Amino acid sequence: LPFCKQLPKVELHAHLNGSIRDATIRELADKRGPKGLLAEDAHTLTSKGDRSLADCFKLFDVIHQLTTEHDTITRITREVVADFAADSVVYLELRTTPKHRPEVGMTKQSYVEAVLAGLMDAKIATNDDPPQPPSSQKAEMLEDTREATSRSNGAKAATFDERRTGIIVGLILSIDRRESGEAALETVQLAHSLRHRGVVGIDLSGNPTVGSWATFLPALQWARAYGLPLTLHCGEVPNAEEVRAMLAFRPERVGHVCCLAEPEWQQLLDAKIPVEACLTSNIKTESISSFAAHHFALLYKDDHPVAICTDDSGVFSTSLSQEYAIVAASFGLTADHVFSVARHSVEYIFASESVKQKLRRTFVRGQTHKQ
């Protein structure tokens, strides 16, 4: 674990409301008072054992009851970024579903503004990529200094390379499968209008047993037409028809791909679509029976593009270092193999080529330092 902790890492699949600190959840629940949440819900929030995928979505509904305010959204964003930075994550693509909550005066736009304020709050300054017009492929990225983050955490940052100073953050806006096609399009258009402020792509997530692919296709096609990269939660439950349609659409990345039958698995390998692998999440939601049985091994053996990710570090009590350590232990990967997995993840990010170049340099320097 110490090696994995110090290793510079790239996190490509992290849901904001699934990555909240336990202490913050408890504080928010306490503020609601004894009647603010059902006792049963409070219990669900604090027990971290295995739960089915369906139970997880119930849990997200409970978490969402605690994070209704703009200020809270700003706070949790700031904390989540700080936590990833303290775990030596050098590049984070944080994803969240813009929420429309008229009862608290929240629109999708104001929700995303609150997230962006959280990124700024964490002393995030623009990096050397100049702001681009909204139609540009290039997104302005947001960067924090690791020093500032480690100070605010009161902890010494674990640096793999002393010269590395920052975490770069890109924001992905998620479409929830419960949403209508119109609501999905609103999210995509919002993402497009905020590319110059660090929005880098679109995700399709939410309960995989709800909604159908056809509902979201027009919004996803719109995103593609405007050059927004796409990542889709794919194959979390068996649904061959949907998986085939998703893979044929050729998103830039897919998440999970747990329940693919042989023809769809072959389709994935042939298409070489990078996979966001979330091991602890897949085990805890009982999508996969054990770490040893996880399909990461097949992807890795096949030299298929794959990035190790946390999914919901708060809900599943994990960290990216821990996920790397699990992969290393489960599949007998050496330090060099683990380093190579981290380094290759840079190639699958949604940010501009200049950000990629910068990250590639981090890994070259890191390697020198390691030897």
Tell me which residues touch ligand 5GP (CB under 6 A).
15-18, 60, 96-97, 174, 176, 205-206, 208, 233, 236, 281, 311-312
Q: How far is the CB of 303 from ligand 5GP (least distance, A)?
A: 26
The set of residues, in sequence order, having a beta carbon less than 8 Å from that of 96 and lying 6+ positions away, is 15, 16, 17, 111, 115, 171, 172, 173, 174
Q: Measured from the CB of residue 67, what is the shortest distance to ligand 5GP in angstroms?
A: 8
Based on CB atoms, which residue is closest to ligand 5GP, 103 or 128? 103
Q: Which is nearer to ligand 5GP, 8 or 206 (CB)?
A: 206
Alpha-helix residue ranges (DSSP H) falling in the chain: 2-6, 22-32, 39-46, 53-66, 70-86, 108-121, 146-153, 181-193, 213-225, 240-249, 262-271, 279-284, 296-301, 320-331, 335-345, 353-370
| H-helix or E-strand spanning residue 143 | strand 142-145
Where do we find the tokens 């497009």? 192
Q: Using the structure block, give the residue that is written with the tokens 């997230």.
A: 115
Classify 170 as helix, strand or coil: strand
Residue 174 Cβ vs ligand 5GP, minimum distance, rounded to whole Å: 5
Residues 153, 155, 160, 165, CA torsion sign = positive
Catalytic residues: 236
- ∠ CA(55), CA(59), CA(63), 5° rounding? 170
Give the shortest CB-318-to-ligand 5GP separation in angstroms.
12
Evaluate whether 143 touches 169 at the Cβ level (below 8 Å). yes
Q: How far is CA 370 from the centre of its chain?
A: 27
* Min dist. Cβ of residue 37 to ligand 5GP (A): 17
Helix or strand run (H / E) with residue 259: none
Nearer to ligand 5GP, 16 or 122 (CB): 16
Q: Which residue, 65 or 150, is less far from ligand 5GP as judged by CB? A: 65
Is the Cβ of residue 171 or residue 299 nearer to ligand 5GP in the bound state? 171
Minimum gap (Å) between residue 39 Cβ and ligand 5GP: 22
Instruction: Report the candidate in 84, 119, 55 with the shortest Cα–Cα distance to residue 285.
Output: 55
Structure token pair of residue 348: 């699958």
What DSSP string runs through 292-359?
TT-THHHHHHTT--EEE--B-TTTTT--HHHHHHHHHHHHT--HHHHHHHHHHHGGG-SS-HHHHHHH
Q: Which is nearer to ligand 5GP, 18 or 366 (CB)?
A: 18
Q: Which is nearer to ligand 5GP, 158 or 183 (CB)?
A: 183
Closest separation between CB of residue 160 and ligand 5GP, Å? Answer: 28
